Amino acid sequence: MRFLFKLVDYILAVFMGVASVWLVSLVVGSGWNMFIAMFVGMFLGMLAVFPALLFSCGVTTAFHVLPVGMLITMFTGMIAGMAIAMGALSTSQLYPLAIFIAATVQLAIDRYDMKLKGEVPLGRT
Amino acid sequence: MAELKDKHWWAKWDRAAGKFDFMNRGVELRFGKDKQEWFSRAKGLTLLVAVGTGLDLPYFTKDHSLVGIDISKNMLRIAAKKCEGRKNTKLIQVDVETLSFADNSFDSIVTSCTFCSVPDPVQGLKELYRVLKPGGKMYMFEHVQSNIFWMAPMMDAMTLITRHFGPELNRRTGKNVLKAGFRLTEEVNIHLDMVKLFEAEK
């Protein structure tokens, strides 16, 4: 069961990364101002968290999707926005990058969760 | 907060009742075992606060003496169906901020994702303190405001939206428990520092 939950986490992470690149590629075009592209990319990317939240409520929780999703979509959205504006990477090149970022962020959050998990010393509340 | 109360703040929970079990299926799947272990510490006559649609009832033995309260009539209607075969379980519609029970009535209190939704959490917790017997314990499963530097502002921002149809994400429930007069005896992180188990004593 634990393995299945982890699998769901990683599938959702990858979905959010790929969806954020896709959303950004629909709007941002080459030749855009870099800073505008970065902020628009970040904003559009973060929208990808909402479908993930909706589709996953039957199998996981918002607490597992939100922290990871916000980071993944923010980073991939920003990178996708800038890369497309500069013409540095094509959308098909950005998807593997988004998958890599998603898996890395998910792994980092899992490690951090393991560190925080357990009894909190009293008086820290 | 006062504004939400004036507009029958519980109406959003009446509206959510029909899809509540589905929306919370993930929570029960992922945290059900933790909740069951934690709630099994409750002994004697137990007040189950915000029983909702009765999702937490299976975590108690069938003969456990339970009083389940909730503000939402629609939620209680669904919970009543899950009470079949539970002779010692009573459901009552009441606001946790103004409980109708006498002082020192309960041996234990259990809350599950409750104080993210009570408009005045400290007042609600003060009422729980009043109805709990001296030495009695309260067991809580709650999501709270994270102290992670990049999560905290996000949770504040999300709360501006979520409070209109569901819970608030940025409650400081541990601090509120102390403000209400309880002694915090145990606090456990079960997911990051956002989902926690608390044990508090009167």
Q: Cβ–Cβ of A60/B30 closer than 8 Å?
A: yes
Across B74-96, average pLDDT: 94
Facing A63 at nearest CB: one of B148, B174, B194: B194
Query: Among A50-64, A67-81, A102-116, which stretch is predicted with the lowest mean pLDDT?
Result: A50-64
For chain A, the C-alpha Rg in angstroms (whole number) is 16
Q: Cβ–Cβ of B193/A63 closer than 8 Å?
A: no
Taking CA B21 as the corner, what is the angle to CA B15 and CA B26, rounded to the nearest 5 degrees?
A: 125
Query: Among B8-17, B62-71, B150-159, which stretch is predicted with the lowest mean pLDDT?
Result: B8-17
Is the confidence at residue B120, as pLDDT, over 80?
Answer: yes
The residues, any chain, with a CB within 8 Å of residue A101's CB and separated by 6 or more, are A17, A72, A75, A76, A79
Is the confidence at residue B23, as pLDDT, over 90?
Answer: no
A106 Cα to chain B: minimum distance (Å): 13
Preferred mutation among B20, B27, B179 to probe A, highest tally of A CBs within 10 A: B27
Chain A residues touching B22 at Cβ < 8 A: 57-58
For B198, the token pair is 């608390």
Given pLDDT bands bounded at 50, 70 and 90, which one contains residue B81?
Answer: very high
DSSP A77-99: HHHHHHHHHHT-S-HHHHHHHHH
Strands B106-112 and B132-143: what pairing? parallel
Is the confidence at residue B85, as pLDDT, over 80?
Answer: yes
Given pLDDT bands bounded at 50, 70 and 90, which one contains residue B167?
Answer: confident
Q: Cβ–Cβ of A60/B29 closer than 8 Å?
A: yes
Give the DSSP letter of residue A120. Answer: P
Given pLDDT bands bounded at 50, 70 and 90, which one contains residue B2?
Answer: very low
Q: Does residue B22 contact residue A57 with C-beta atoms inside 8 Å? A: yes
A95 Cα to chain B: minimum distance (Å): 25
Strands B66-70 and B46-49: what pairing? parallel
Distance of alpha carbon B84 from its chain centroid, rounded? Answer: 22
Q: Cβ–Cβ of B30/A61 closer than 8 Å?
A: yes
Residues of A at the B interface, defined by Cβ within 8 angstroms: 5, 56-61, 63-64, 66-67, 70-71, 109, 112-113, 116-120, 122, 124-125
Taken in order B116, B119, B123, B128, the sign of the CA dihedral is: negative
Given pLDDT bands bounded at 50, 70 and 90, which one contains residue B7?
Answer: low
Is the confidence at residue B3, as pLDDT, over 50?
Answer: no
Percent residues over pLDDT 70 in chain B: 96
Q: Cβ–Cβ of B30/A56 closer than 8 Å?
A: no
Q: Is B143 on the interface with A (CB under 8 A)?
A: yes
For B73, the token pair is 């009539």
**φ, ψ (nearest 5 deg) of residue A118:** 115, -170
* pLDDT at residue B4, as a whole number: 46
**φ, ψ (nearest 5 deg) of residue B9:** -55, -25
Distance CA B110, CA A120 (A): 20
Across B121-128, average pLDDT: 96
Q: Does residue B17 contact residue B78 with C-beta atoms inside 8 Å? A: yes
* pLDDT at residue B5, as a whole number: 52
Domains in chain B (CATH in brackets) are 2-201 (3.40.50.150)
Is the confidence at residue B119, as pLDDT, over 60?
Answer: yes
| CB neighbourhood size of A122 (10 A) | 11
Q: Does residue B65 contact residue B44 with C-beta atoms inside 8 Å? A: yes
Residue ranges of alpha helices (H) inside chain B are 2-6, 11-23, 25-39, 73-81, 121-131, 151-162, 173-179
**φ, ψ (nearest 5 deg) of residue B89:** -110, 130
